[in-house]
Structure 1
Amino acid sequence: MELILWIGFYFLTFYAFLPALISRIFGFRVFTRGNTDKEIALTFDDGPDPIYTPKLLGLLKRHGAKATFFVVGENAERYPDIVARIHEEGHIIGIHNYVHHTNWFMRPRTVKRQIHRTSDVIKRITGSRPMYYRPPWGIVNVFDYANLGYLQIVLWTSLFGDWRKRVNADKLYKRMKRKLRPGQVFLLHDCGITFGADRDAPANTIAALARILDDGQTMGYRFVGIDEMIALSERPRYPHTNNQSAVRRPSMSNDESVTGNNEPHSIGLFKKLIVTIWMLWEKVFHFLFRLRPVGEGKSFNYRVRRYAGPPLDLRADTTLHSGDYIMEIHFENRMLFNLGMNSRSTLQTGIKIIREMEKALPDMARELSTTPNGDKVKALYGVSMIHRGAESLGYGTYDLPRGLFSWMTNIYLRILIRVIHPEGNERVRTKGERMSPRMLIMPRDILLTWADETRVKRRPQRERAAKKEISVKKAEVPHETADYEEETMGKLV
Structure 2
Amino acid sequence: MTLGKMTMWLLFFLLTVYAFIPGLLIRLFGYRAFKRGSGNNELALTFDDGPDEKYTAQLLDLLKEYDIKVTFFVVGKNAEKHADLIRRMHEEGHLIGIHNYEHKSNWLMLPKQVRRQIEQSSEIVERITGERPIYYRPPWGIINLFDFLTIRKFRLILWSRIVGDWWKHSHKTKLKKRLLKRLRSGEVILLHDSGETFGAYQDAPGQMLLALKEFIEELVPKGYKFLRIDDMLRDSNDFAVRERSFYRTAVVFLWMKWESLFHFLFQVQCVDRDTRFLHLRIRKYDGKTLELPDGERIQSGNRVAELHLDNRMLYSMGRSARTSMHLAIGLIREMERTMPKVADFILNDPDYSDVKGLYGISMINRGPANFGFTVLDLPKGVFAVLSKWYLRILLSVVHPQGSQRLQSKSEMLVPKIIVMSRKELLRRYQPENTAKIPAVKQERIASEQSSTAALGK
Task: Give TM-score, length-normalised by structure 2.
Answer: 0.86
How far apart are the structure 2 equivalents of 1:143 and 1:64? 39
Classify 1:485/1:269 alpha carbon distance in 2 versus 1 (closer, same or farther; 3 Å): farther
- Counterpart pick for 2:31 among 19, 24, 28: 28
Deviation at 1:378, TM superposition (A): 2.3
Q: Secondary structure at the match of 1:84?
A: helix
The more displaced of 199-208 and 135-144 is: 135-144
Match of 2:403 in 1: 422
- Counterpart pick for 1:221 among 224, 235, 239: 224
How far apart are the structure 1 equivalents of 2:453 and 2:41? 45
Tell whether the 8 Å contact from 1:19 to 1:140 is kept in structure 2 after alignment.
yes
Deviation at 1:322, TM superposition (A): 1.9
Q: Where in structure 1 are there 5+ consecutive unaligned residues?
A: 238-250, 257-267, 472-480
How far apart are the structure 2 equivalents of 1:51 and 1:11? 43
Deviation at 1:4, TM superposition (A): 4.7
Tell whether the 8 Å contact from 1:132 to 1:151 is kept in structure 2 after alignment.
yes
How far apart are the structure 2 equivalents of 1:93 and 1:320? 56
Residues 277-356 of structure 1: matches in 2 within 5 Å?
A: 277-296=254-273, 298-314=276-292, 318-343=296-321, 349-356=327-334
The more displaced of 221-230 and 150-159 is: 221-230
Match of 1:241 in 2: none
Match of 1:55 in 2: 58
Are 2:18 and 1:18 aligned? no
How far apart are the structure 1 equivalents of 2:285 and 2:135? 48
The more displaced of 415-424 and 211-220 is: 415-424
Deviation at 1:98, TM superposition (A): 1.2
- Counterpart pick for 1:381 among 359, 367, 381: 359
Match of 2:449 in 1: 484
Q: Where in structure 2 are there 5+ consecutive unaligned residues?
A: none
How far apart are the structure 2 equivalents of 1:144 and 1:446? 40
Alpha-carbon displacement from aligned partner over 1:230-249 (angstroms, at most 9, x marks no partner): 22223x57xxxxxxxxxxxx
How far apart are the structure 1 equivalents of 2:243 and 2:166? 39
Match of 1:443 in 2: 422
Deviation at 1:434, TM superposition (A): 5.9
Corresponding pairs, count: 450
Classify 1:285/1:85 alpha carbon distance in 2 versus 1 (closer, same or farther; 3 Å): same
Match of 1:184 in 2: 187
Deviation at 1:369, TM superposition (A): 6.0
Are 2:173 and 1:196 aligned? no
Q: Secondary structure at the match of 2:420?
A: strand
Q: Secondary structure at the match of 2:104?
A: coil
How far apart are the structure 2 equivalents of 1:131 and 1:396? 44
Match of 2:118 in 1: 115
Tell whether the 8 Å contact from 1:393 to 1:462 is kept in structure 2 after alignment.
no
How far apart are the structure 1 equivalents of 2:294 and 2:424? 13
- Counterpart pick for 2:233 among 223, 230, 233: 230
How far apart are the structure 2 equivalents of 1:11 and 1:396? 28
Are 2:70 and 1:67 aligned? yes
Q: Secondary structure at the match of 1:287?
A: helix
Are 2:249 and 1:272 aligned? yes
Q: Secondary structure at the match of 1:99?
A: coil
Runs of 4+ in structure 1 off by over 6 angstroms are none
Residues 98-247 of structure 1: matches in 2 within 5 Å?
A: 98-234=101-237
How far apart are the structure 1 equivalents of 2:322 and 2:231? 42
Are 2:427 and 1:462 aligned? no
- Counterpart pick for 1:365 among 339, 343, 346: 343
Return the letter of the residue paired with 1:487: T
What percentage of aligned pairs have identical amino acids? 40
Root-mean-square deviation over aligned CA pairs: 3.1
Return the letter of the residue paired with 1:219: K
Match of 1:406 in 2: 384
Return the letter of the residue paired with 2:38: N
How far apart are the structure 1 equivalents of 2:406 and 2:326? 25
Tell whether the 8 Å contact from 2:298 to 2:356 is kept in structure 1 after alignment.
yes
How far apart are the structure 2 equivalents of 1:219 and 1:348? 55
Classify 1:413/1:46 alpha carbon distance in 2 versus 1 (closer, same or farther; 3 Å): same
